[in-house]
Amino acid sequence: MTTADSNFKATASAFCTREPFEVAESAEIVRAVEKATTHVRGISPRHIGQTYWMDSALLAAAGVETVVIGPIGAGAHADEEWVDLQSLVELAQILAEAALDYCM
């Protein structure tokens, strides 16, 4: 059983907040990455959300069309982190194709 301490006083305030990130599936950058992924991998990519915060939110807030894509892997920022090398090669191809498509 806990008891309240009548002498304890506290306040809380947010001093650093970060906006969430979301991009419309109809955005030009999404279409370019999807097209390149389908070409390189032979399948359409899945559109998924994540619960962690990424720098993509800062770019989007600045008005830069942004999409998040990465290689197959696991353990980000953990003691054991890995990436599938073939998926890394494919990602480089996807990014190059998407950049050409998006910027031309």
Q: Tell me the per-residue pLDDT of 29-73, one tens digit each, with 9 for 90 and over.
A: 999 999 999 999 999 999 998 888 889 999 999 999 999 999 999
Domain boundaries, the chain: 28-71+82-103
Better-scored residue on pLDDT, 80 or 53: 80
pLDDT (0 to 100) of residue 6: 87
| DSSP result, the chain | -----TT-----------------TTSHHHHHHHHHHHHHHSSPPP----SS--THHHHHHTT--------SEE-TTSSS-EE-HHHHHHHHHHHHHHHHHHH-
pLDDT (0 to 100) of residue 52: 83
The yes-or-no verdict on residue 1 having pLDDT over 60 is: no
